[in-house]
Amino acid sequence: MPKIKLDRIDRKILALLQQDGRMPNNEVAERVGLSPSPCLRRVKALEESGVITRHVALVDPAAVDLPVNVFVSVSLERQVEERIDAFEAAVMALPEVMECYLMTGDADYLLRVVVPDLASYERFLKEHLTRISGVANIRSSFALKQVRYRTALPLGHLVE
């Protein structure tokens, strides 16, 4: 995917679609000050070039009984390399892991895990996380409240 140059209009389009992915092209065009066809061309280009990766529906976690967020710091045994790939592959197979980052600092990985309740988390720990080979240490921190959760990246840092 070639690095696309994004001008002011592209960023406006992205901002709009990040906010409402179903906004009809007509409205997008109007809001960015373009006529529908060049606007549609831009949107399609943004999709095909991978700038827009996908369109999704967001679901309320509470409504599907997944109100608990747990952040898990994982340290691996010091034999890196193969362990790394194995761990990441194992993590990718766990549906309750919403996010996973390879980190600098004390722990190797930071995960965000969603579960219905503490009991479920305990089960998740015992039956899945601790069974991944190479895991040396696990530290769990629970979120009392999700103050903010956004999927829309801030785009004001390039122009406004």
Among 36, 61, 67, 116, binds DNA (CB under 7 A): 36
- What does the CA dihedral 23, 28, 30, 31 come to, rounded to 10 degrees? 100
- CB-neighbour burial class of residue 140 (10 A; exposed 0-12, middle 13-18, buried 19+): middle
Find which of DNA, a second copy, none residue 9 binds, CB within 5 to 8 Å per kind.
Answer: DNA
If the CB atoms of residues 37 and 130 are measured against DNA, the closer one turns out to be: 37
Contact code string over 37-56 relative to DNA, x by CB under 7 A: xx-xxx-x------------
Q: How far apart are the first and last CA of the chain?
A: 26
Find which of DNA, a second copy, none residue 67 binds, CB within 5 to 8 Å per kind.
Answer: none
Contact code string over 32-71 relative to a second copy, x by CB under 8 A: -----------------xxxxxxxxxxxxx-xxxx--x-x
Q: Which among 51, 140, 132, 152 has a CA at the least distance from the CA of 92?
A: 132
If the CB atoms of residues 13 and 34 are measured against a second copy, the closer one turns out to be: 13
Q: How many CB atoms lie within 10 A of CB 121?
A: 20
Q: Footprint of DNA on this chain (CB under 7 A)? A: 9, 24-26, 33-38, 40-42, 44
